[in-house]
Structure 1
Amino acid sequence: MHKFYSHGKLLITGEYVVLDGATALALPARLGQSLEVKKIEKQGIEWTSYNHEGEIWFEARISSEEILGSEQHEVKNEVRKRLVSLLREAAKKNPEKLSSKHGFEIITRTEFPLDWGLGSSSSLVANIAAWFEIDAYELQEKIFGGSGYDIAVALENSPVTYELTKSGRSVLTTSFDPPFSDQLFFVHLNRKQNSRESIDHYRKQPGEDISAAVEKISMLTHQVITCTSLTEFELLIEIHETIISKLVNLPKIKSALFPDFKGAIKSLGGWGGDFILATGGEDEKNYFREKGYKTILSYSEMIF
Structure 2
Amino acid sequence: MQTFYSHGKLLLTAEYVVLDGAKALAVPTKFGQQLTVESIDKPQIIWTSLDHNNAIWFEDIFSLDEIKVGYLSRNPISDRLIQILKAIKQLNPDFLTCKTGFKITTILEFPKNWGLGTSSTLINNLAQWANVDPYQLLNLTFGGSGYDIACAQNNKAIVYQLTDNLPVINTLDFKLDFFENLYFIHLNKKQNSRDGIAHYKANKHDLANTIKAINAITSNVIKSETLEDLKNLIEQHETIISTITNQTKVKDTLFSDFNGSIKSLGAWGGDFILVASKTNPTDYFKAKGFNTILNYKDMVL
Q: TM-score, normalised by structure 2?
A: 0.95
Specify the alignment match of 1:60 in structure 2.
Answer: 60
| SS of corresponding position for 2:281 | helix
- Offset at residue 94 of structure 1 (A): 2.1
Do structure 1's residue 75 and structure 2's residue 37 form an aligned pair? no
Specify the alignment match of 1:203 in structure 2.
Answer: 202
Aligned length: 300
Specify the alignment match of 1:216 in structure 2.
Answer: 213
Specify the alignment match of 2:103 in structure 1.
Answer: 105
Do structure 1's residue 10 and structure 2's residue 10 form an aligned pair? yes
- Offset at residue 227 of structure 1 (A): 1.1
| Contact kept in structure 1, 2:16 and 2:200, CA below 8 Å | no
Q: Which residue identity lines up with residue 272 of structure 2 in the other structure?
A: F
Specify the alignment match of 2:275 in structure 1.
Answer: 278
Higher mean C-alpha deviation, range 275-284 or range 114-123: 275-284
Alignment of 1:166-185 (within 5 A): 166=164, 168-185=166-183
Specify the alignment match of 1:233 in structure 2.
Answer: 230
Distance 1:283 1:197, change over 3 A: closer
Distance of 2:54 and 2:211 partners within structure 1: 42
Alignment of 1:1-304 (within 5 A): 1-69=1-69, 73-166=71-164, 168-193=166-191, 196=195, 199-200=198-199, 202-206=201-205, 209-280=206-277, 283-304=280-301
- Offset at residue 111 of structure 1 (A): 0.5
Q: Which residue identity lines up with residue 29 of structure 2 in the other structure?
A: A
Over the matched positions of the two proteins, sequence identity in percent amounts to 46
Unaligned runs of at least 5 residues, structure 1: none
Q: Which residue identity lines up with residue 88 of structure 1 in the other structure?
A: K
Higher mean C-alpha deviation, range 258-267 or range 124-133: 258-267
| Contact kept in structure 2, 1:198 and 1:248, CA below 8 Å | no
- Offset at residue 170 of structure 1 (A): 0.9
Distance of 1:193 and 1:246 partners within structure 2: 20
Distance of 2:135 and 2:201 partners within structure 1: 24
Distance 1:167 1:11, change over 3 A: closer
| Contact kept in structure 2, 1:199 and 1:248, CA below 8 Å | no
| Contact kept in structure 1, 2:196 and 2:268, CA below 8 Å | no
CA root-mean-square deviation: 1.6
Q: Which residue identity lines up with residue 109 of structure 1 in the other structure?
A: I
Q: Which residue identity lines up with residue 23 of structure 1 in the other structure?
A: K
- Offset at residue 136 of structure 1 (A): 0.1
CA offset digits 1:61-101 (Å, max 9, x no partner): 111112223xx543231111111110111122223331123
Distance 1:222 1:197, change over 3 A: closer
- Offset at residue 156 of structure 1 (A): 2.0
CA offset digits 1:46-70 (Å, max 9, x no partner): 010000011000011111112223x
- Offset at residue 285 of structure 1 (A): 1.8
- Offset at residue 167 of structure 1 (A): 6.2
Distance of 1:73 and 1:167 partners within structure 2: 30
Distance of 1:174 and 1:163 partners within structure 2: 14
Higher mean C-alpha deviation, range 180-189 or range 281-290: 281-290
Distance of 2:27 and 2:90 partners within structure 1: 31
| SS of corresponding position for 2:258 | coil
CA offset digits 1:81-126 (Å, max 9, x no partner): 1111101111222233311232101000000000000000000000
| SS of corresponding position for 2:90 | helix
- Offset at residue 15 of structure 1 (A): 0.4
Q: Which residue identity lines up with residue 21 of structure 2 in the other structure?
A: G
Higher mean C-alpha deviation, range 14-23 or range 247-256: 247-256
| Contact kept in structure 1, 2:51 and 2:110, CA below 8 Å | yes
- Offset at residue 165 of structure 1 (A): 1.2
Q: Which residue identity lines up with residue 117 of structure 1 in the other structure?
A: G
- Offset at residue 205 of structure 1 (A): 3.6
| SS of corresponding position for 2:94 | helix
- Offset at residue 301 of structure 1 (A): 1.1
Distance of 2:263 and 2:28 partners within structure 1: 17
